[in-house]
Structure 1
Amino acid sequence: MAPIYETVRLLSASLPSEVALIGYAGAPWTVATYMVEGMGGGETDHAIIKQWALSDPSGFQPLIDMLTIAVTQFLGRQIEAGAEAIQIFESWAGILPEPFFRRWCVQPVANIIEALRQRYPHIPVIAFPRAAGLLYQGYAQATHANCIGLDSTVPLGWASGAIQRRLGRCIQGNLDPQLLVVGGQALAADAERILRHASEGPFIFNLGHGILKTTQPEHVAALVRKVRAWRS
């Protein structure tokens, strides 16, 4: 992993002071899905890992425990190399039933955040449980993340009330990545909607998941200009 840490060090030294460097890792459950089934291009129904996890939870648990330790160490090394905040991506949170979601999405991330806070109490943590739906609020409460990433399906009015105001947490999101591909007026209008609804509390503008490879850089630049120029 040395090249990754060296890249973080070089970026940290070269970025302007007003630009934050965010470290990144997949959460244990999501990393486990890729270990067991491969990346799959998003097309897998995750039947193999779900059958293992649901039918033999005691046999599956050691993999999650190992990954919890590994992700904690990986993020810690990024922080030591200069990352000023970290984000934990749980891209496949939405495929688990609630009891298993709590066991393999919520608890490992809570353990990671607790361990990082003991060593790096000044580093904010963003946690992103994609497609968690109604479980978002409980996830935010149980993991104690400073900020919660929202996927594109989460209603901002609900998130503002349940997470910003009730829990006092920052929210991040949640532009549909496809709108960044479309660009133009459709992109501008939805960005305006998000800024208007989410900016009454602590908020980071972002996409609702990863940027698509068909995205035009010009669309990204236009979105950045709009967000920076926006005023409530």
Structure 2
Amino acid sequence: MSHDRLLRALAREPVDATPVWLMRQAGRYLPEYRKLREQAGSFLTLCQNPELACEVTLQPLRRFDFDAAILFSDILTIPEAMGLGLHFVAGEGPHFHHPVRTPDEIARLTVPDIDRELGYVPAAVELIRRELDGRTPLIGFAGSPWTLATYMVEGGPSKNYAHIKKLMYDAPEALHQLLDVLARSVAAYLNAQIAAGAQAVQIFDTWGGVLTPAGYREFSLAYMQAIVDALEPAPDGSRVPAILFTKGGGPWLESMADTGAAALGLDWTIDIDAARARVGDRVALQGNLDPAVLHARPAVIREHVRDVLARFGDGPGHVFNLGHGVTPDIKPDHVAALVDAVHEFSAR
């Protein structure tokens, strides 16, 4: 690989400059994405067509000096493959025609056949790796079991998580059954991405932060641990680094570090120096600029980038990222200012 900053940083090895990639670095803030999305006709078409998914994945790398590509897909491909009827409502986001809310509905769920139901994802990974031609690493990803279950039980986005928390307290054994089938599904899904060429994988635990400390350990972290334990080596026998990202996960960093993941993604609600002091050199850290900083003028963005780098301090093991994804209303030149500042200040 001609450009391996990301992989070296995840292994906590020295790098010439801090690597940077961004969650949602491909997407609606780019005019070329919006044009392709309009031509495709639907978001799911983009996800389920390997050639289009490859094109969207590569779009930001043509504009910006990112140190990694991340597969363009969606965390809800697994429940969609389970037959829940995923669709997207304008202004609201993802919804399911058939949410699962009872023990009987949960008992009917099975692990999808990856090749038959989700084969378009490893096909996209293979195509992207071929197009990248060793220029930069490719990150695969999946949603955490708790996050997937939240969408599946609620039927879409939620403000109070009433349905899944009722299930958690009234029928915890049914929720555990759901989380178990999802953990086995996610492990198989990520292993298919690894076999196809993904060189790192991230587990997005978007809604883990809505749980109590005990609830997080029992219903979220335990199942991410099972996935990390089940990850298989790359085709060449090397270990593929896993990144755990829990939005709102600051209280549980030590437990997250105990999973054996290579890195922890941090949101913007914790200082990266405090996180580093707590986990030491057990894991690399990824993050953690507030995504809203990208609304500011480039000079301000540069100063906040400098602050995050200074807070992490010297030594290996930092991957620069936002504390969550790029929002659709961000100007591309503001992303360019961030990427250039990361490389400029960290190389000094």
By the TM > 0.5 criterion, same fold? yes
Higher RCO (CA 8 Å, separation ≥ 6 residues): 2
Cα-to-partner distance string for 1:154-210 (whole Å, 9 max, x where unaligned) = 1112111112x2x52100001111112334222111111111121424110001011
Structure 2 CA distance for partners of 1:83 and 1:183, relative to 1, 3 Å: farther
Cα-to-partner distance string for 1:109-150 (whole Å, 9 max, x where unaligned) = 111001105776510000011102321222222x21110000
> Contact 1:176–1:209 (CA<8 Å) still a contact in 2?
yes
Task: Tell me which of 298, 322, 326 is aligned to 1:184.
Answer: 298
Cα-to-partner distance string for 1:63-109 (whole Å, 9 max, x where unaligned) = 00000001001101111111100000101111111111111111101
Secondary structure of 2:330's partner? coil
- After TM superposition, where is structure 1 displaced by more than 4 Å over at least 4 residues in a row? 117-121
Is 1:95 aligned to residue 222 of structure 2?
Answer: no
> Contact 2:287–2:320 (CA<8 Å) still a contact in 1?
yes
Secondary structure of 1:23's partner? strand
Note the 1:1-232 alignment, pairs <5 A: 1-40=118-157, 44-117=159-232, 122-141=239-258, 143-163=259-279, 165=280, 167-200=281-314, 201-230=316-345, 231-232=347-348
> Contact 2:264–2:285 (CA<8 Å) still a contact in 1?
yes
Q: Distance in 1 between matches of 2:173 and 2:249?
A: 24
Q: Distance in 1 between matches of 2:191 and 2:251?
A: 30
> Contact 1:25–1:71 (CA<8 Å) still a contact in 2?
yes
Secondary structure of 2:288's partner? strand
Q: Distance in 2 between matches of 1:178 and 1:39?
A: 24
- Amino acid of the structure 2 residue aligned with 1:80: A
Q: Distance in 2 between matches of 1:28 and 1:216?
A: 33
Structure 2 CA distance for partners of 1:158 and 1:117, relative to 1, 3 Å: farther
Secondary structure of 2:324's partner? coil
> Contact 2:140–2:202 (CA<8 Å) still a contact in 1?
yes
Secondary structure of 1:69's partner? helix
Q: Distance in 2 between matches of 1:113 and 1:191?
A: 30
- Amino acid of the structure 2 residue aligned with 1:105: S
- Taking structure 2 as the reference length, the TM-score comes to 0.62
Structure 2 CA distance for partners of 1:16 and 1:159, relative to 1, 3 Å: farther
Q: Distance in 1 between matches of 2:297 and 2:119?
A: 37
Secondary structure of 1:206's partner? coil
Secondary structure of 2:220's partner? helix
> Contact 1:157–1:197 (CA<8 Å) still a contact in 2?
yes
Structure 2 CA distance for partners of 1:67 and 1:58, relative to 1, 3 Å: same
Q: Bigger radius of gyration, 1 or 2?
A: 2
Count of aligned pairs between the two proteins: 227
> Contact 1:127–1:148 (CA<8 Å) still a contact in 2?
yes
- Amino acid of the structure 2 residue aligned with 1:152: W
Secondary structure of 1:175's partner? coil
Q: Distance in 1 between matches of 2:155 and 2:313?
A: 38
Q: Distance in 2 between matches of 1:121 and 1:102?
A: 29
- Amino acid of the structure 1 residue aligned with 2:272: L
Q: Distance in 1 between matches of 2:309 and 2:334?
A: 17
For structure 2, list consecutive stretches of 5 or more residues without a partner in the other structure: 1-117
